[in-house]
Amino acid sequence: MGSAPQTVPAPDAWSRRLRPYARPRLRRSLGEVAITVVPFVLLWALAAWTVTHGHWWGLLFTVPAAGFLLRLFVLQHDCGHGALFASRRVNDWTGRVLGVLTFTPYDYWRRSHAMHHAGAGNLDRRGIGDITTLTVAEYRALPPGGRLRYRLYRHPAVMFGLGPAWVFLCQYRVPMGLMRSGATPWVSTVATTFAILVPAALLCWAMGVGPFLAVQLPTTLMAATAGVWLFYVQHQFDGTHWTVGDEWRFAEAALEGSSNYVLPAPLRWITGNIGVHHVHHLAARIPFYRLPEVLADHPDLAGMSRVTVGDSLAAVKLTLWDEGARRLVSFREAAVPA
């Protein structure tokens, strides 16, 4: 006698089912911080030591160092959601300290990222904390200069080259988008920048400006590029979900508008399971190390919004939202002028 078919829960029901996973484990969280911070510091120090002694092959250490720096950003990200520790104070101060290493002002970023979560997939709430995405109609309505700017913005060389450098080295030095939102964004950006400059100046004095920049810049920029790529894939993929106004539903936007990025095990570890983004958007207080547990316990979620590495590479050409077809399309598919 066959088993009865399982009923897939409605999107809103998933939020209730996932609440038990939103409980951080103190020892595990402390361990994750240790096994990420310590290797990062050691790899950075090895790169610095070899370069200052004239061995430029030591810059190879910046590649794994960038991987651990990316993982530090994921830890900071979990702190911003109150997910890494049970205490909000511990989350906040851990996030602020990690923000010095990641060049990301924690309190400013947390506020803009919360706005992203509150309106992801809602065409009426675009603008802060997300990848700028125009509809086909909006693009067609732009003057030639506006269309050129948007095409340049969406070009891979800008999106994954100049863009990450601009965001982490320049944009995060002032509270872009929140400049009139009170003192907190300003205090966060200025304090983080000052906290970066002091140790940077000491290291420049100890090892020289050239060697310091030779180690720090590639480490930061590689991590920034990887981070922007991951954020791009999380919401820019074939099959993503966008709606307007009253049509928007939080749970549907999370499960259908956020990807389930299927990566090899080593990449899943170094990226802190951030590819399980549909679950994260549905229940942001689940610690990153419990996301695989969710997929193992709920196979239905593991099969939703799957994006392979090949799918993600193909999605780079998807640049506009076609409201009629309800999907992302390329400039060529939309037959829009340059």
**Per DSSP, what are the bridge partners of residue 321?**
135, 328
The CA distance from 286 to 295, in Å, is: 12
Q: What digits encode the pLDDT tens for the residues 241-257?
A: 999 888 888 888 899 99
Going by pLDDT thresholds of 50, 70 and 90, the confidence category of residue 335 is confident
Tell me if 4 is assigned to some domain. Answer: no
For range 52-79, the mean pLDDT: 97
Strands (E) in the chain, as ranges, are 134-135, 260-261, 306-307, 320-322, 327-329
- Tokens coding 90: 């511990």
Q: Which of 97, 89, 114, 90 is nearest to 36 (CA)?
A: 97
Tell me if 233 is assigned to some domain. Answer: yes
What is the maximal distance between C-alpha atoms in the chain?
Answer: 76
**In one letter, which amino acid is 107?**
D
Q: Give the model's pLDDT for residue 272.
A: 97
Tell me if 110 is assigned to some domain. Answer: yes
Q: Give the model's pLDDT for residue 7.
A: 46
Statement: residue 147 has pLDDT above 90? yes
Q: What digits encode the pLDDT tens for the residues 286-317?
A: 999 999 999 999 999 999 999 999 999 999 99
CB 107 within 8 A of CB 185: yes
Q: Give the model's pLDDT for residue 11.
A: 65
Q: What percent of the chain has pLDDT over 70?
A: 96
Statement: residue 37 has pLDDT above 90? yes
User: Domain containing 302: what range?
Assistant: 11-334
CB 237 within 8 A of CB 311: yes
Counted domains in the chain: 1
DSSP 111-174: HHHHHHHHHTTBGGG-SSSS---EEHHHHHHS-HHHHHHHHHHHSHHIIIIIHHHHHHHTGGGT
Tell me if 6 is assigned to some domain. Answer: no
Antiparallel, parallel or unpaired: β 327-329 and 134-135: unpaired
For range 10-19, the mean pLDDT: 79
Tell me if 123 is assigned to some domain. Answer: yes
For range 156-178, the mean pLDDT: 92
The CA distance from 305 to 37, in Å, is: 32
Statement: residue 15 has pLDDT above 90? no
Q: What's the whole-number average pLDDT of the chain? A: 93
CB 244 within 8 A of CB 47: no
Q: Give the model's pLDDT for residue 178.
A: 82
Tell me if 2 is assigned to some domain. Answer: no
Q: What digits encode the pLDDT tens for the residues 89-143?
A: 999 999 999 999 999 999 999 999 998 998 899 999 887 778 999 999 999 999 9
Statement: residue 8 has pLDDT above 60? no
| HSE, side-chain direction, 13 A CA sphere, residue 82 | 9
Tell me if 91 is assigned to some domain. Answer: yes
Going by pLDDT thresholds of 50, 70 and 90, the confidence category of residue 5 is very low
For range 309-332, the mean pLDDT: 95
Statement: residue 282 has pLDDT above 60? yes
Q: Which of 74, 62, 143, 81 is nearest to 104 (CA)?
A: 74
Tell me if 3 is assigned to some domain. Answer: no
For range 183-198, the mean pLDDT: 94
pTM of this prediction? 0.93
Q: Give the model's pLDDT for residue 2.
A: 39
Going by pLDDT thresholds of 50, 70 and 90, the confidence category of residue 16 is confident
**Per DSSP, what are the bridge partners of residue 306?**
260
Rg from Cα positions in the chain? 21
Q: Which residue has the higher pLDDT, 79 or 182?
A: 79
Q: Give the model's pLDDT for residue 4.
A: 40
Residues contacting residue 97 through CB under 8 Å, at least 6 positions apart: none
Q: Which residue has the tokens 């939020």?
A: 15
**Per DSSP, what are the bridge partners of residue 276?**
260
The CA distance from 257 to 263, in Å, is: 18
Statement: residue 326 has pLDDT above 50? yes
Task: Mean pLDDT check: name the lowest of 28-42, 158-172, 203-217, 238-252.
Answer: 238-252
Q: Give the model's pLDDT for residue 246.
A: 83
Q: Give the model's pLDDT for residue 3.
A: 41
Q: What percent of the chain has pLDDT over 90?
A: 82
Q: Give the model's pLDDT for residue 6.
A: 43
